[in-house]
Chains A and B, each alone.
Chain A
């Protein structure tokens, strides 16, 4: 077994590929859909459904990147490898999901989808480090729901400046902020630091001792 195969083997790549492909298929099928209503409320600015699929692809990034054992101390070299792994996974997922943006009739452009995927990926990675992989979907989902609910209207463009996730165009500033944020999240997850460790350590040990078998965690 090569080193790469072993590396892939210990991460949840299979589940990630499966979820990603299902979401990708959905994105291709619904690439023309515009979300015009949030619950009973008619949105001030319609939002391309493609931009919302980034939540799932972001979770896919967290799924494939999160190491099976989060709280093992690692030498700096390994942290570096992990950042590279996170970057590769993010690149593949972002590329795959933004391809839909260049298809015929796509309601959102490739760069907006890529930006959203990167941002949701960063949020999911942070969520994974802070709340655990099981709840890593919460930050990107909350961010997206809040943006759809409160980010629309108010300005001539049709959405607030902070509502990056529903902006159909990308700016250099957005890219700079999102990329920096992703890098920070990648370092956090790679270094294996979640919450400040001191207070939680006892709990973590208990989880290791009585919890699930290692391969399921």
Chain B
């Protein structure tokens, strides 16, 4: 959603700068040096740039949500609205920045100076260039990529809205004086503007915490495919092939008497959700769109691997027997289910051998041979 915001900032700032610069020219000057009229005039000019940009951005967000068919997503309406508001305030801030630049320059250079400075500011303070996620005052808090299992850090959104809102007002209220070809800001306004920019610049290092917070969610859409298989509802439209294959595998396994190859329940993995294998739930790899579905072989292996055991992730690595057993188990399952598989030096196991291996694995005893 906010992938294109960085394109909007320089354009908005440049346009606002040109408008403000034209307002400040001799001939219009009385409108902006008068205490009563100044803020209102600059405010209208600023709004004339910022409001269409914000409305267009909002329109894009609504269109994307409508096309995606996920109106509220998973995190609820308040964080969603706050995130949109934060992005809107960023646009307004850059309009105010451009307006300030424009007041101090002639119209012919205001545009490029406003646009270039906005690009510079948004590049320096807007990106999470650092490897670890952190608060970014012009950033989108990761709003551009839909992610299951996280929600916005509402505290960050509120800080972003407050800091940018207050400083945008300060930049907008900067008063200029002078009747010659050049104007200058009043001392108070100049101090206020400098302070505003410093506040915005220091916000990134002052505000701690990660912009996205964990909000672990289990897959909620369950179907009967020989056993209960649960996937995330966002992934369900692409899960058809996988579910069909699973159904065939589980049906044939139980028909041939390999009951231990049919788990109580299968759940889709996500980056932050791990199915609880201790209680008999097996994990299914994350289903992705436009990705070739694994053949049954790969699917079976991913289901069987005892990922809950620490030996799989430590430095030494699991014993050789694990891979032999895994190969034998998969070979057995594929043979039982009638899939085409390459010739291997392993044999089809008896149901009791399968039971033995899987029982040992559930205790994280990985030394068991086929």
Q: Does B123 sit at the interface, judged by CB under 8 A?
A: yes
Closest to A149 in B: B7
Closest to B120 in A: A26
Q: Does A183 sit at the interface, judged by CB under 8 A?
A: no
Q: Does B62 sit at the interface, judged by CB under 8 A?
A: no
0 or 1 for each of A133-165: is its CB under 8 Å from B? (1 = yes): 111111001100110010000000000000000
Q: What is the bound-complex CA distance between A40 and B26, given in angstroms? A: 42
List the A side residues contacting B278 at CB < 8 Å.
none
0 or 1 for each of B1-38: is its CB under 8 Å from A? (1 = yes): 01111110011001000100110011100000000000
Contacts A56-B116, A212-B25; is A135 near B111 (CB within 8 Å)? yes
Q: Does B106 sit at the interface, judged by CB under 8 A?
A: yes
0 or 1 for each of B124-156: is its CB under 8 Å from A? (1 = yes): 001111000000000110101000000000000
Q: How many of chain B's residues touch chain A, expressed as a range?
A: 35 or more
List the B side residues contacting A36 at CB < 8 Å.
129
Docked-complex contact A55 and B112, CB < 8 angstroms:
yes
List the A side residues contacting B110 at CB < 8 Å.
134
0 or 1 for each of A197-217: is its CB under 8 Å from B? (1 = yes): 000000000000001110010
Q: Does A37 sit at the interface, judged by CB under 8 A?
A: yes
* From B11, B18, B27, B108, residue with most partner A Cβ within 10 Å: B108
Contacts A134-B18, A141-B11; is A39 near B108 (CB within 8 Å)? no
List the B side residues contacting A216 at CB < 8 Å.
25-26, 106, 181
Closest to B10 in A: A141
Closest to B143 in A: A40
List the B side residues contacting A211 at CB < 8 Å.
27
List the B side residues contacting A141 at CB < 8 Å.
10-11, 14, 112, 115
Q: Does B201 sit at the interface, judged by CB under 8 A?
A: no
0 or 1 for each of A106-148: is its CB under 8 Å from B? (1 = yes): 0000000000000000000000000001111110011001100
Which of A134, A138, A145 is within 8 Å of B22, CB to CB? A134
Docked-complex contact B112 and A39, CB < 8 angstroms:
no
Contacts A38-B6, A149-B7; is A56 near B126 (CB within 8 Å)? no
Docked-complex contact A15 and B4, CB < 8 angstroms:
no
Closest to B110 in A: A134
Docked-complex contact B3 and A55, CB < 8 angstroms:
no
Q: Does B79 sit at the interface, judged by CB under 8 A?
A: no
List the B side residues contacting A136 at CB < 8 Å.
111
Q: How many of chain A's residues touch chain B, expressed as a range?
A: 20 to 34
Docked-complex contact B111 and A134, CB < 8 angstroms:
yes
List the B side residues contacting A15 at CB < 8 Å.
106, 108-109
Q: Does B176 sit at the interface, judged by CB under 8 A?
A: no
Contacts A56-B116, A141-B14, A149-B4; is A212 near B27 (CB within 8 Å)? yes
Q: Does A187 sit at the interface, judged by CB under 8 A?
A: no
Q: What is the bound-complex CA distance between A55 and B114, given in angstroms? A: 13
List the B side residues contacting A55 at CB < 8 Å.
112, 115-116
Q: Does A28 sit at the interface, judged by CB under 8 A?
A: no
Docked-complex contact B113 and A41, CB < 8 angstroms:
no
Closest to B119 in A: A52
List the A side residues contacting B116 at CB < 8 Å.
23, 55-56
Which of B3, B14, B26 is within 8 Å of A213, CB to CB? B26
Q: What is the bound-complex CA distance between A41 and B128, given in angstroms? A: 10
Which A34-52 residues have C-beta < 8 A from chain B? 35-41, 52
Chosen A-B contacts, 29 in total, with CB atoms closer than 8 Å, are A12-B108, A15-B106, A19-B112, A23-B116, A36-B129, A39-B127, A39-B140, A40-B3, A40-B140, A55-B112, A55-B115, A56-B112, A59-B111, A63-B109, A134-B108, A134-B111, A135-B18, A137-B14, A137-B115, A138-B111, A141-B10, A141-B14, A141-B112, A145-B7, A145-B10, A212-B25, A212-B27, A216-B26, A216-B106
By a beta-carbon cutoff of 8 Å, the part of chain A in contact with chain B is: 12, 15, 19, 23, 35-41, 52, 55-56, 59, 63, 133-138, 141-142, 145-146, 149, 211-213, 216
Counting from the closest, the 5 A-B pairs by CB-CB distance are A39-B6, A137-B112, A59-B112, A137-B111, A134-B107
